[in-house]
Amino acid sequence: MSKVRHIGVFGKRNTGKSSLINTITGQNVAIVSDIPGTTTDPVRKRMEIFGLGPVVFIDTAGIDDDGKLGEKRVEKSKAVIKTIDLAILIFTNNQVDKYERGLIQSFKDEELPFIMVHNQSDIVAMDPEVALDLAEKEGISVLEFSCSLLDEEEQKSVVETLTSLIIARLQECAPAKTILEGLVEKDDKIVMVCPVDSEAPEGRLILPQVNAIRDALDREAVAVVLQPDALENYIRNETVKPKLVVTDSQAFDFVSKTVPEDIPLTGFSLLLARSKGLFPYYVKGVEAISNLKSGDRILILESCTHHSSCDDIGRVKIPRLLQKKCGAEFSFDVVGGLDSFPDNIMKYSMVIQCGGCMITDRQLQARLKPAIKAGIPVANYGMVIAYCTGIYQRAINPLI
C-alpha cells in the first residue's frame, strides 16, 4: 500500500489553479471564476491515481494576492509548501516574474520536487524561448497545458501527460516506505497488539494500526490483531511462530515479558518513525538520553492536539518515566499543534515528538528540522517509552 501523497498547486491569481484540480480530478471540487482571488483558504481534494495510489490535491490562494487579507492568504499558501510531497507551479501568458521565481526558490529551499505548467495555452501558447530559458537557467522543463480544450480526446491526453509526470516525479523523489516494508512477506504471520482501553479512540483504531493491518493484507501476510490480555493464551497455543509482534508502546512492558525472546518485537511508533524517514535521527536521539542532567529543559512536541491519550503521554507519562529512568529532574515545555514552534530552540537539551500519525511526513520532518539542524537530540514518544521501560534494544532490533 502506498501512502497518501500531498500535491500543492501554486501560482498567481486567475492562472487556473482551481480549474487544473477540477480537470485532473474530473470533478468540480474547487470554485472557479474569472474574478482574481476566488480561492481564499487552501482546499483539499483526495483522489486515486492509477499506478500510484491515493493523493490529496491542495488548491491554494494566488501567490500575488495583496492587501491585508491577501497577505494572510499568501502566508497560508506558503505554509502549504512545508506539508506536501510535490508542488505544481502554474503560470500563464509566458509570464515568469518575481512570484514564480520566489516559489521556485522556496521549493528548492525545501528540496521539494515540483512540476511547472503553462496553463491557458489555448489562449496564449507557450513561447519556446521562455521554456528554453527555464530549462537552461533553472533546469526546469515546462508542460504546456490547458483546462479548456474543445477536443475531448486532446483534453484527456494532456491530463494523462500531467498525471504521468506527477507519478514519475513522486516516485523518483519520494519513494514511499510503507509501514511494514522489508519486515513481512507473503504468508508470514504478524501479531499486532492493540489495547482497547480508556485511552483508545472511540469506535476505531489509531492510524498506524490501520496502516499496518492494511499493509499486511497488501503483502498477503496473516495479520492477527488482539488485545494484551489475549496475548499470553495466543502465544501458548499457537504452533506457527510469528515473524513479528508489533505493540502499542503503552503495552511494551507487558508484551515484552509475554513474547518469548526469540520472537522479534517492535512498536507501532517505531514503524511509523521508520516509514516517515525519521528513525535514524530518533535512534541517535534516544542514545543521548543517558547524557541528560538535572535541570535540563526538554521540549515535548504534540502534533495532534485532539487526541487526549497523546496529551496524557506527553504531559504526564513521559516526564515521569524519563525522570525516573535518569534519576534526575528536568523541566518540560509542551507545544501542541503545528504553528507555535519555539524561537529559542537552543535552550532545549532534547526534543520529544509524538508519533505524528495525523500529519504528513514532510510536516513532521519540517517540524523537527530546526532541532536536527541545531544538533539537538530528537526522539518520539514510543521510542522514549521503550528506552525507559528497558526494552529499547529489543524494539529496534527488527528495524536495524
Ligand X SMILES: Nc1nc2c(ncn2[C@@H]2O[C@H](COP(=O)(O)OP(=O)(O)OP(=O)(O)O)[C@@H](O)[C@H]2O)c(=O)[nH]1
Residue ranges binding Mg ion (CB under 5 A) = 17-18, 38-39
The answer to whether the CB of 30 falls within 8 A of the CB of 43 is yes
Q: Decide whether 120 or 380 has the Cβ nearer to ligand X.
A: 120
In sequence order, what are the beta bridge partners of 189?
A: 222
- Give 98 or 236: the residue with its C-beta nearer to ligand X: 98
Distance in Å, CB of 13 to Mg ion, minimum: 8
CB of 124 to ligand X, least distance (A): 9
Decide which of ligand X, Mg ion, none touches 285; Cβ closer than 5 to 8 Å per partner kind: none
C-alpha cell at 62: 494566488
Cell of 341: 514552534
323 touches which of Mg ion, ligand X, none (CB within 5 to 8 A by kind)? none
Least Å distance, CB 30 to Mg ion, is 6
Closer CB to ligand X, 91 or 268, in the complex:
91
User: The C-alpha cell of 55 is what?
Assistant: 493523493
Residue 356 touches which of ligand X, Mg ion, none (Cβ within 5-8 Å per kind): none
Q: Which residues are near ligand X by CB under 6 A?
A: 11, 13-19, 32-34, 36-39, 61-62, 119-120, 122-123, 146-148
d(CA 30, CA 43): 7
Q: Report the candidate in 133, 138, 242 with the shortest Cα–Cα distance to residue 180.
A: 242
Sole residue written with cell 521556485? 104
Provide the 3-class DSSP secondary structure of residue 1. Answer: coil
- Partnered with residue 165 across adjacent β-strands are none
- Could you say which of ligand X, Mg ion, none residue 36 binds, taking C-beta under 5 to 8 angstroms by partner kind? ligand X
How buried is residue 68: exposed, middle or buried, by Cβ count under 10 Å (0-12/13-18/19+)? exposed
Round to whole Å and give the CA distance between 237 and 2.
Answer: 34
- Name which of 47 and 225 has its Cβ closer to ligand X: 47
Cell of 379: 526522539
Taking the least distance from each CB to ligand X, the nearer of 121 and 266 is 121
User: Would you say 81 or 357 has its CB closer to ligand X?
Assistant: 81
Angle value at C-alpha 96, between 92 and 102, nearest 5 degrees: 120
Select the residue whose beta carbon is closest to ligand X and give its number. 16
> Least Å distance between CB 167 and Mg ion?
24
What is the nearest approach in angstroms of ligand X to the Cβ of residue 31?
7
273 binds, among ligand X, Mg ion, none (CB under 5 to 8 A by kind): none
- Which residue's CB is nearer to ligand X, number 124 or number 374? 124
* Min CB(97)–ligand X separation in Å: 16
Q: Using CB atoms, what's the residue nearest to Mg ion?
A: 39
Phi, psi for residue 9 in degrees, rounded to 5: -115, 120
Shortest distance in whole angstroms from residue 353 CB to ligand X: 34
3-state secondary structure of 173: helix
Nearest 10 degrees: CA dihedral of 74, 75, 78, 82?
-160
CB under 5 to 8 A by kind: which of Mg ion, ligand X, none does 379 bind?
none
